[in-house]
Homo-oligomer: A and B are copies of this chain.
Amino acid sequence: MATEKPYVIGLDLGGTNSVFGIVDANAKVVEIGKIKTGAYETFEEWLDASIACLKPMIERVGGIEKIKAMGAGAPNGNFYNGTIEFAPNLKWAKGVVPFAKAFEEKLGIPCFLSNDANCAALGEMKYGAARGMKNFIVITLGTGVGSGIVVNGEMVYGCDGFAGELGHVIAERDGRPCGCGFKGCLETYCSATGVARTAREILANTDEPSLLREKDPAQIESLDVSIAAGKGDKVAKEIFEFTGNMLGRTMADFTKFSSPEAYIFFGGLTKAGDLIMDPIKKAYEENCMPIFKGKAKIMVSELPDADAAVLGASALAW
C-alpha cells in the first residue's frame, strides 16, 4: 500500500549554497534546487528566495499534501527550539533566527532543524552504513571535526541541544591552540586544516625529501597530502599516521562512554582511503580497553557524495 505522504524535504544549508531536495523513503532525491546563501542580507529575504525555489519543486511531486515534513541541517542549528543561533558563517544569522517556525508557517508542514554532523548521523541511520544500528558515532572530517552520536537508537542532543562536540575533546593536553579558546582539541589535529598544520610542522622540523616541498608551505592543503601519500611519499604517510594516531587513541576514550557498534567517517579527509583509515584503526585497537577490543566497526560513509548532506537533513524529517 502506497503511503499517503511519500516525500520529505531536506535542506543542506551551508555558508555558500542552500541546497533543497525532495526525497523519498528509498533515499532517492526526486527534485533538487539551490540558491546562494550569501546573496541575501536578511533571513526574511533568504526565506522568500527559498520558498520561491521550493514551490515549483513541490508542485512537480504533486503538491504539499505529498510531503510529510522538512528537515534542515545548518551550522549552529538547535534541534530543541528550531533556531539557528549566532552562526559566524551566515551573515543573516548573527543573532537568533526562528528558522523552523518560519518554514512551518510558510509551508504548513512540520520543520526540524539540527546541525550538519547530527544530520549526517541520521542520514547514515536512515539510508546508509548505520541502518539497523542502535549505537554508533558519526565523525565528520572536514574544515573542522564534527560528530553525531546515536545511543539506544536516538540522537544524543543533551540537555541543551548542543551535545556531540567531539571535535573539541582534548586530544593532547596543552596542545595546539584551537579557535574555541582551548588547547589541544581533536579538531586542531584531525580536521583538513589540522592535517595541513601537521604537514607544515613536520616539513619544518626535518630534512626528509618530500613531494610536499614543491609547494609553498602556507598553501599546503590536506588534498596535497593525500596525493603525495598515494604516490608513496614518506613524509605524507607520516602525516597521516600522526593524524590517525591522534584520532584513534581519542576514539578509544569515546568508546568508554557509549561503546558504539560502529564509527562512521564522513567528509573530505576520508577520500584518502586506507592511507588515513588504517592508522586510525591501528591506533584505536592499540588504545582500546580489553573488553572493547575488536568490537567497533570503523567504516566510511556509504551515502552518495553529492546528495549526502541533503539526505542527512531529510532523515531528520522522517
Closest to A181 in B: B290
* Distance A253 CA – B296 CA, assembled complex (angstroms): 21
B-contact bits for A288-318, CB 8 A (1 contact / 0 none): 0111100110000000000000000000000
Q: A151-B156, A152-B151 are in contact. Are A166 and B290 (CB under 8 A)?
A: no
Question: A135 near B162 (CB under 8 angstroms)?
Answer: no
Segment of A95-103, A117-125, A255-263 engaged in the interface with chain B:
A255-263
Chain A: interface size category: 35 or more
Shortest distance from the beta carbon of A254 to any chain B beta carbon, whole Å:
7
Known: A162-B291, A290-B181. A168 touches B256 (CB 8 A): yes
**Is A159 a contact of B172 with CB atoms below 8 Å?**
no
Show the binding face of A for B, using Cβ within 8 Å.
134-135, 149, 151-152, 154, 156-166, 168-170, 172-173, 180-182, 249, 253-254, 256-261, 287, 289-292, 295-296
Complex Cα gap A290–B258 (Å): 24
Query: How many whole Å from A303's CB to the nearest CB in chain B?
Result: 22
Q: Establish whether residues B169 and A256, one from each chain, have CB atoms under 8 Å apart when the complex forms.
A: yes
Contact A257 B260 (CB under 8 A): no
- Shortest distance between the CB of A162 and any CB in chain B (Å): 5
Instruction: Please report whether the interface of chain A is mostly helix, strand, loop or mixed according to DSSP.
Output: loop
Q: Are A289 and B257 also in contact (CB < 8 A) when A134-B159, A159-B134, A160-B295 are?
A: no
Copies of the polypeptide in the assembly: 2
- The distance in angstroms between the C-alpha atoms of A253 and B261, with both chains bound, is 21
Contact (Cβ within 8 A) B180 A289: yes
**Shortest Cβ gap from A107 to chain B (Å):** 28
Whether B259 and A182, one on each chain, are in contact in the complex, defined by CB atoms closer than 8 angstroms, is no
Q: Are B159 and A287 in contact (CB under 8 A)?
A: no
Complex-state Cα separation, A254 to B289, whole angstroms: 18
Can you name 27 A-B pairs with beta carbons within 8 Å?
A134-B159, A135-B158, A135-B159, A151-B152, A151-B154, A151-B156, A152-B152, A152-B157, A156-B258, A158-B258, A158-B259, A159-B260, A159-B296, A162-B259, A165-B289, A165-B291, A169-B256, A170-B249, A172-B173, A180-B289, A180-B290, A181-B289, A181-B290, A182-B287, A182-B289, A253-B253, A257-B257
Q: How far is the CB of A247 from chain B (nearest CB, A)?
A: 14
Interface contact A168-B257, CB-CB below 8 Å:
no
When chains A and B are docked, how far (Å) is the Cα of A175 from the Cα of B11? 46
Which one of A152, A254, A260 has the greatest number of beta carbons of chain B within 10 Å? A152
A170 to B173, CA, bound (A): 11
Docked-complex contact B259 and A160, CB < 8 angstroms: yes
Cα separation A206 to B300 with both chains bound (whole Å): 52
Complex: A159 Cα to B158 Cα, angstroms = 20
Nearest CB in chain B: distance from A190 CB, A: 15
Q: Which of A158, A166, A181, A254 has the most CB of B within 10 A?
A: A158
A260→B159 CA distance, assembly (Å): 6
